[in-house]
Structures are given as C-alpha cells and as structure tokens.
Structure 1
Amino acid sequence: MIAGTSAARDRRSPAEKPTLKAEQIYEVLRHAIVRLRMEPGSVISEKELCLAYGVSRTPVREALKRLADEDLVDVFPHSGTYVSKISFEVAEEGFVIRRALEIESIRRAVAYATDEDIRRLERLIGEMRDILERGALHEYIEVDDAFHAAIAGISRYPRIWKFINLVKAHLDRMRQLSAPLPGHLAEVTEQHAAIVRALGRRNADQAELAMKIHLESSFAVMSAMYEDGRYFRRKEV
C-alpha cells in the first residue's frame, strides 16, 4: 500500500497528488525489479497497478516511463509492458562507474574515519554474518548497500552513493542472482572486513586495494552468470 495518512493526503493540492503517487509507485516498482521480486521478462499490467494503488492510469504510466528511461521496463505499444531482461552492457557500465567512485571514496574515508566510524562498519559486518548464519540471503544486499553508503558518508562525499545508486540497477539485479551461490557472500563479507581493517590502520593504499579486489572479484562472479538466458538479454553487437 502507498504510505501516507488521510490527513496528509487532504492537505495536498489536486495537482500534487498524481506526482506524489507516481513517485511512490516508481519507488515500489523499482525496488521490486532490482530485488528480482518482479522477474526479468514478466508482464506488468497497468490495470492491476491502478487497482492496487487506487489511482488512474496517469501516475502509473508516469512511473513506468521513468523505469523505461532507466532501462528497467520495456514498453511495446499495442503489445504490452514487461520487466526488462538484464543488460550485461548496462551492468558493466554501472560497475565501471561504481569502481571509480568507490575507490575515490575509500581513499578519502581513510583521512576522515573515526574510531566510531570503524565500529559502525564492524557492526554492519556483524549483521552480514548474522544474515549468513540465518540463511536469510535476501536481506544481505540491503546491509551491503548500507556498508558502502556508510563509507561514502565517512568520505564526506555522501552524494557519491546516491549517484552510484542511479547507475547500478542492472548490476544490483546481477548481485541478487549471485547471492545464493555457495560461499559467495561469505567471501564478500570477509572482503568487507579487509576493507575495514585497512581503514582502521589508516592505510589508503591498502584500503583502495581491498576495495578494488572486492568489487572486481564480485563482478567476476556475477559475470559468469551471463549465459542464463532466462534473465539476460543477448549481448549487443
């Protein structure tokens, strides 16, 4: 359901309501697509969305247009709307951008990290280990993102993570697919721990290397899944 009290809705002007609804629908759908709760290739029914959210087609179409602009939805006139298959090329581009920004972020974080910052990162790693023990792998990516966002915050460039989020949607779908691979997330967790140890030593070169190893090895694991035609588009020539 869309969040918000009746009183809050009543205070909005008629012109504001469709925009707000569209924003909320966009956020809910984007999260579902990125987390693979809506599988690549699955049909999206405008009518069902209108009924689910109690809105007209206008905000639904606005939300779908934004998703189409991000290449997360394919709209075929007179045919239908579908969750897009994962584009390896778009995911790879997101990885390249993310690697460049996170390497800059981790080097700056070394200069500003406090002991409390280190403890906060260690607590997040503790959460990751707890998730692995419980086998709740669907929860891992949220804590993983919180870890990287925290490093961006420590670097005093918090908007770095906001920008990364904009370009890593296809990459995130690959991350979600790779989560169940035996031992993968355990290795990722230890890589996170290596990053924090380097931060704790205030060693920028070690921290950069640990981050680079983490991002590149994770992408290598994800890239090996490309042949799964159920989820991926054919590579563009």
Structure 2
Amino acid sequence: MNAGIGAEALARVAVERPTQKAEQIYELLRHSIVRLHMVPGSVISEKELCLQYGVSRTPVREALKRLAEEDLVDVFPHSGTYVSKISFDVAEEGFVIRRALEIESIRRAVRFVTDADVARLDALIADMRDILAREALHEYIEVDDAFHSAIAGISHYPRIWKFINMVKAHLDRMRQLSAPVPGHLAEVTEQHASIVRALARRNADQAELAMKIHLESSFAVMSAMYEEGRYFKRKDV
C-alpha cells in the first residue's frame, strides 16, 4: 500500500503541525494513488497510516476526506476505506477540461516562446527518449507533466497547469495504465516533438493542431483500457 513514499517524506510529516501533517499526508497518498502505487480497490487502514506517519487519526482522516472529495478514496462507514476504482466519466471530464485549457495555452505560448524555451522543451524530449531507451516507463509521466507545465509557463498563464492538475487525477491513473502499451509512449514523444517544432516556427495553427492530435490520440489509447475493466468503475451513479 505504501510503496513510493520515501523515508524523508515520512520524517517531515512527523514534525509538522496537525494541519500541515494532514496536507503532507494528503499529498503523499494522492501521489501514490495517482501513480498506481496504491492500486484501485486496495484497502486503506487508518491505523496503519497513523503508525506509518507517527500521527493521530485526525490528520489521517482529514487527508482521506479530501481524497474522498476527489473520488480517489471510497469510505464506507462500518465497512472500510478503499482506493477508489477509476471513474471513466470523471477521467473523460478531466480530459475535456484539459484539452480546452491546453489548446488556449499553446496558442498563447506561440506569442511568447523564445529560443531558450524551445531548447528547454527539446531537453525534456531528450529525457523522454532516454526513459524509453532505459525502459523506465514509470518515470515518464513526471517528465511528460514537466513538458506540459513548461508550455503553460511559456504562455504566461502558469496557473492553467494548476487548474489542469486539479481535474486530471483519474485521467492520470489511466495514463499510468496505458504506459506499457507497445509503442504508445514512443508515439507520444514524437507528438511532443511536433508540438515543439510548431512552437519554434511560431505557428499558432500548427501548434494547436499538434497539441489536439497529441491529447486526443493519447486519450483514445487510454480509453481502450476501460474495456478491460479491471481497475474501473463499471457504472457511475
């Protein structure tokens, strides 16, 4: 259940004040859930979390309450607490919001992009290719997010990425599931390169089209995961 949570992070939680502890625990658990270190359907034990973080039940319950509000945790009174299964409907909603904001972001980025920005994006693509060469697919999503966050920064609307992060948790879990699909991340990497080429040419229409193709084709691959059904809610009520 607790894979991916480092000793350093746990030590920080132990010395924080109650509200800070709740925030730290929330961030650590959210990261573990989104990155599938804690798989959908797995049991969450409040007692184990209290022992692990060296805290009382109050900050743990506050963190779990926030995760439940994001549909990342299911709390059943007198029954138990579980990592929620992935909601396709929520993931699709996150995709629609992300696509709208990123298309706006990329068009604005064309107005402000510099050669140094292009070089920074190219360096991130080089990191992606290195990850693929090493077959360290679990590292890819972090660099992918850094790439898109950088574009938001170039657009001079850096908070766009913060808003996207708020709505893409279920989408990110689908991204993790789709990572091992043969050839998928290699194609994603080349799509990123196409986006950068359009930015370098300062062509807003090409940049928008490249971003749209990238996001929609990636979501199509992720959507195929839904048919397998293992980690998904079969019906949203």
- The code of the aligned residue for 2:69 comes to D
Secondary structure of the equivalent of 1:4?
helix
Residue equivalent to 1:177: 177
Instruction: For 1:144 and 1:228, locate their aligned partners in 2 and report how far apart those are by CA, in whole Å.
Output: 25
Per-residue CA distance 1:153-200 (angstroms, 9 max, x = gap): 000000000000000000000000000000000000000000000000
Determine helix, strand or coil for the equivalent of 1:157.
coil
3-state SS of paired residue (2:99): helix
* Structure 2 unaligned regions, length at least 5: 1-6
CA distance in 1, matches of 2:13, 2:133: 38
The 8 Å contact of residues 13 and 53 in structure 2, kept in 1 or not, is answered as no
Equivalent residue number for residue 24 of structure 2: 24
The equivalent residue for 2:12 is: 4
Aligned residues: 229
Matched, 1:223 2:223: yes
Aligned partner of 1:87 in structure 2 is 87
SS at structure 2 position matched to 1:226: helix
TM-score (norm: length of structure 1): 0.94
Once the two structures are TM-superposed, the CA of residue 235 in structure 1 deviates from its matched residue by 2.9
Q: How does 1:130-145 map to 2 (within 5 A)?
A: 130-145=130-145
Q: Aligned-pair distance for 1:3?
A: 4.6
Q: Residues of 1 paired with 2:74 and 2:119: CA distance?
A: 43
Letter in 2 for 1:36: L
Superposition deviation, residue 5 in structure 1? 9.6
> What RMSD in Å do the two structures reach over aligned CA positions?
1.3
Percent identity, please: 84
Going from structure 1 to structure 2, the CA distance change for 1:5 and 1:75 (only over 3 Å counts) comes to closer
| Counterpart residue type for residue 4 of structure 1 | R
1:79-158 mapped onto 2 (5 Å cutoff): 79-158=79-158
Do the aligned partners of residues 93 and 5 (structure 1) sit closer, same or farther apart at CA in structure 2, a change above 3 Å counting? closer
Rounded Cα–Cα distance in structure 1 between residues aligned with 2:217 and 2:12: 42
What is the DSSP-based 3-state SS (H/G/I as helix, E as strand, rest coil) of the residue aligned with 1:173?
Answer: helix
Partners of 1:229 and 1:44 lie apart in 2 by: 21
- Cross-structure match for 2:196: 196
Partner of 2:43: 43
Distance change in 2, residues 1:5/1:28 (3 Å): closer
Offset of 1:4 from its aligned partner?
A: 3.5
CA drift at 1:145 = 0.1
Deviation at 1:227, TM superposition (A): 1.8
TM-score calculated relative to the size of structure 2: 0.94
Q: In structure 2, how many angstroms separate the alpha carbons of the residues matched to 1:120 and 1:36? A: 29
Q: Distance in 1 between matches of 2:197 and 2:51?
A: 50
Structure 2 residue aligned with 1:68: 68
> Any stretches of 5+ residues in structure 1 without a counterpart?
none
